[in-house]
Structure 1
Amino acid sequence: MLWSVCVRPVSVSLETTAGSVSVYDSQGQGPCVVLLHGNSLSASLFSEQLTGSFGDSLRVVAFDLPGHGRSQNARRPETDYSLPGYARILEEVADGLDLDPFVLVGVSLGGHIALEYSATADTRLKAVAAFGTPPVSREPEDLDRAFKRSEEIGYLFQEHLTDAEARQFLHAVTGASSGALFETLLSDVERSDGRARRNLASSLQRGEFVDEAALTHTSRVPLLMAVGERDAFVSQDYVAALRPSKLFGGRFRIVEGAHHSVVFDSRERFEGLLREFLGRIL
């Protein structure tokens, strides 16, 4: 953890049905924003938001998904490592911290979890922002259209990764090859429970997720969706063809120069978009 020498954030271990989950809280004075990390990473992705000015002006909460970071591996990997399973853990974290109201912000897999949760969420949830998260229907061809074909996309669902594959995967996610945060996240990839990748793939193939494309027309909460201009995973053609009626600004935002993990290489634009969004809807 990059913030181990800092007073903030406060770190707690919360017991859930999937096992013990590590949660981090900036204890800022503003509205509550829950940040959800991506596949094989951890809440370390949001170290700047938890320790910087963003976390001063907002109460920023992030947690390591089961099988990731400092959280325990899932007790029931067949069901916990799925979008409905992760959404259930999110609900338990919100209950355990008595979060009311809050906004969800997800990156990549985290965005899909946020959309999954939003479909059945109660009035505590006020809005969802998703970065690097193309909204897909349950039609199998939608998954093929939404994501680019590449060697790295396969690593998202591959149980065992070699050291070289882990580094190649993280480079595709972040656009980086070195640096303190890169090395921390590389350790996260190596630590992650490979069953989380494998079982997520099986769950998606069975269609165990909400119709995300429909949510862009029916969501009861405001939605912000953005993708990096240089995203190695998300198809720009797919995103451009969407005609969402519920998205903030009426369209997907394209973050100039950013890679898949917008928060990693375009922190100021990530935070700026969120501040603009929150200023309009809260």
Structure 2
Amino acid sequence: MPAIDKTIATPYATIRIRETSGRGLPLLMIHGAGTSKDVFAKQINTALGEMYRIIAVDLPGHGESSNAVDPATYSFGGFAKVLSVVLDELSVNKAAVYGWSLGGHVGIELLATDPRVAGLMITGAPPVNRGPIGLLRGFQMHRDMLLASKDHFTDEDIARFLRLCFRESEIPASFAQTARRTDGHARTGVFKASMMGLDSDQKRVVERSPVPIAVIDGQYEPVARLSYVGNLAYRNLWSGKVHVIPDAGHAPFWEKPDHFNVMLHRFMGDMAARNRQRPHSPSNGASG
């Protein structure tokens, strides 16, 4: 059965989601900046979507969702509040979360604030301390990273952005349209909130997490420093190590879906089993 697109009204924005018919543990999938739920097509349109209830969202200012009513929503914490409302509206009591790039940081924020997170998988999202020093430690600094702070994208900017995200893999023309559609205030808002340290201390959140955190990055990850990500003192690191997918960049779920989907399937199986074993045990979010 194909996935169904739905519209959810929230106080922050009108949100579009794509939901599969699977009856297993819900999996909330959160895209990166300048993209949309469409980037998860190679997970949604597979056996994963038939087995688990995949819920892929368009964040405010992205894809088919409306721009935020209040630009203050454009922060990790603001996006997390939106997603909590979405889970409320969908009557989700527990969910695993996958976040890519911006979505990974939003997923960490959701872990810190919403006890329904049963487990978190992140890609291209280094958990850093608040403020500019934390950013310098966790992120690679190069010319293309400046795109994160631009409110307007030229055609050249869009081409550079897509190469940064997807390397040389085949990129649908619709991805350029989605990047062009993105509200520029979303980029500048997230950048300012991060520089000012307005969101949670994400390093502390993952180091104290009571639920499993899976970290899956590409070998040629251009945004996060793999050395930094691999040396954090995770309290609850899934499978005991950070996983690196060979010959992949920032979006291994798109570039190497066969490899990535095997790991996502294993992670979801573990989270579903853990959730069945402890159905009445509350999973308190880590403090930020």
Which TM class, normalised by the smaller chain length? Answer: over 0.9
CA contact (8 A) 2:110 2:117 kept: no
1:243 CA drift (Å): 3.1
Amino acid at match of 2:86: V
How far apart are the structure 1 equivalents of 2:23 and 2:8?
A: 22
CA contact (8 A) 1:243 1:251 kept: no
Counterparts of 1:101-116 in structure 2, within 5 Å, are 101-116=94-109
1:215 CA drift (Å): 2.1
Amino acid at match of 2:118: K
How far apart are the structure 2 equivalents of 1:179 and 1:147?
A: 24
- Aligned equivalent of 2:184: 194
1:158 aligns with 2:150: yes
CA contact (8 A) 1:128 1:222 kept: yes
- Aligned equivalent of 1:3: none
Give unpaired runs (5+ residues) of structure 2: 273-288
- Identity value in percent: 28
How does the TM-score come out when normalised to structure 2? 0.90
Query: Number of matched residues?
Result: 272
CA contact (8 A) 1:40 1:192 kept: yes
- Aligned equivalent of 1:120: 113
1:160 CA drift (Å): 0.9
- Aligned counterpart for 1:225 among listed residues 215, 223, 227: 215
Change (3 A) 1:130 1:65: same
- Aligned equivalent of 1:270: 260
How far apart are the structure 2 equivalents of 1:267 and 1:175?
A: 14
1:139 CA drift (Å): 4.6
CA contact (8 A) 1:44 1:184 kept: no
Change (3 A) 1:119 1:260: same
- Aligned counterpart for 1:23 among listed residues 14, 17, 21: 17
1:208 CA drift (Å): 1.3
- Aligned equivalent of 1:88: 81
Amino acid at match of 2:264: L
1:49 aligns with 2:43: yes
1:278 CA drift (Å): 2.1
1:250 CA drift (Å): 2.5
Identify the range of structure 1 (107-116 vs 228-237) with the bigger mean alpha-carbon deviation.
Answer: 228-237
1:273 CA drift (Å): 1.1
CA contact (8 A) 2:42 2:254 kept: no
CA contact (8 A) 2:209 2:235 kept: no
What root-mean-square deviation, in Å, do the aligned CA atoms of Structure 1 and Structure 2 show?
A: 1.4
- Aligned equivalent of 2:53: 59
How far apart are the structure 2 equivalents of 1:219 and 1:233?
A: 23
Other structure's SS at 2:159 match: helix
Change (3 A) 1:240 1:222: closer
Counterparts of 1:244-259 in structure 2, within 5 Å, are 244-259=234-249
Change (3 A) 1:212 1:206: same
Greater than 6 Å deviation, 4+ residue runs: none
How far apart are the structure 2 equivalents of 1:213 and 1:47?
A: 30
- Aligned equivalent of 1:73: 67
1:177 CA drift (Å): 6.1
How far apart are the structure 1 equivalents of 2:148 and 2:169?
A: 18
How far apart are the structure 2 equivalents of 1:231 and 1:186?
A: 21
Change (3 A) 1:39 1:274: same
CA contact (8 A) 2:96 2:271 kept: no
CA contact (8 A) 1:244 1:250 kept: no
1:225 CA drift (Å): 1.1
Change (3 A) 1:223 1:177: closer
CA contact (8 A) 1:244 1:251 kept: no
Per-residue Cα deviation, 1:214-233 (whole angstroms, up to 9, x for no partner): 12321121111121111111
- Aligned equivalent of 2:31: 37
How far apart are the structure 1 equivalents of 2:222 and 2:132?
A: 21
Change (3 A) 1:125 1:13: same
Per-residue Cα deviation, 1:190-235 (whole angstroms, up to 9, x for no partner): 1100010011111111101111111232112111112111111111
